[in-house]
Amino acid sequence: MDLDFYQALTDAGVKPAQARETVNALHREIEKETRLTMSEYIKRADLHTEIAEFATKSDLKATKNELKVDIEKLKNTMIQWFIGSSVSIVALAFAAAKFLR
- Give the pLDDT confidence of 5-39 residue by residue, as tens digits: 788 888 888 888 988 888 888 888 888 777 767 77
The more confidently predicted of residues 3 and 20 is 20
CA distance 8 to 16: 11
Average pLDDT over residues 93-100: 87
Q: Helices (DSSP H) in the chain: which residue ranges?
A: 2-11, 16-53, 57-100
CA distance 26 to 32: 10
Count CB-CB contacts under 10 A for residue 6.
18
Task: Give per-residue pLDDT as tens, 72-94.
Answer: 999 999 999 999 999 999 999 98
Q: How many residues does the chain have?
A: 101
The predicted pLDDT at position 68 comes to: 95
Q: How far apart are CA 53 and CA 46, in angstroms?
A: 11
Q: Is the pTM of this model over 0.75?
A: no
